[in-house]
Amino acid sequence: MANREAIRELQARLASRLQAAKDEGLSVSWLAIKSGGRSYLLPLAQSGEIFPISSMQPVPYARPWFRGVVNLRGGLYGVVDLATFVSGDAAAPGPLARSVPEAVVVTLNAALNVNCALLVDTLAGMRHAEGFVSARGPSADAPPYFGNCFTDAGGESWQEINLQTLAQFPRFLNITASVT
């Protein structure tokens, strides 16, 4: 119960800071999240709302990374397990196999025209460019939705994910598992 309250408080603080950034024009650039042991940056302009995990309805014959659909504020959203999608792991993870108490879903911005939410392990706050000591472009074999990789002062690497490119990526849009 205490974990749920802590998550709600973090979500409220992040929502407040997001609104303040919009109102004051601060240079905040990314929502920082962690999933599957990796650290990611989601551009704020492409990110939507943050929700605790509610009851997901599984979708039969879907790819392992497509966890199901969920009702968020009266709208149906497909839920993609970000860590499983990025890793390309074909093994079905089972019912929230990586479940952690802090797990949440982050919707894509409505302007991207995809009713989708990303299942992530935890929120890590907001980041801006001044908080990183170095940046490098994506590797040649990186998926097209990967942006720059940033390193913070503590030496941790943060991979930027361009949600607009992800939302148009053919593999992301094709949730149907092949049935033999």
pLDDT tens-digit profile of 65-86? 999 999 999 999 999 999 999 9
Please report which confidence band the pLDDT of residue 177 belongs to, taking 50, 70 and 90 as the band edges: confident
Place of tokens 């839920």: 79
Is the Cβ–Cβ distance between 115 and 76 less than 8 Å? yes
End-to-end CA distance of the chain: 44
Give how far Cα 90 sits from Cα of 66, 67, 121, Å.
11, 13, 19
Strand order in the sheet with 30-35: 122-127, 30-35, 38-43, 157-161, 146-152, 132-136
Task: Give 68's strand partners.
Answer: 79
- Convert the pLDDT of each residue in 105-151 to its tens digit: 999 999 999 999 999 999 999 999 998 999 999 999 999 999 999 99
* pLDDT value at residue 97: 45
Neighbour count for residue 46 (Cβ, 10 Å):
19
Tokens of 162: 């361009």
Largest Cα separation within the chain, whole Å, is: 55
**Antiparallel, parallel or unpaired: β 132-136 and 146-152:** antiparallel
DSSP string, 114-174: --EEEEESEEEEEE-GGGEEEEEPPPTTS-TTEEEEEEETTS-EEEEE-HHHHHH-HHHH-
In whole angstroms, give the CA distance from residue 83 to residue 118.
9
Place of tokens 């024009």: 25
159 vs 1: which has the higher pLDDT: 159
Is the Cβ–Cβ distance between 58 and 175 less than 8 Å? no
99 vs 36: which has the higher pLDDT: 36
* pLDDT value at residue 134: 92
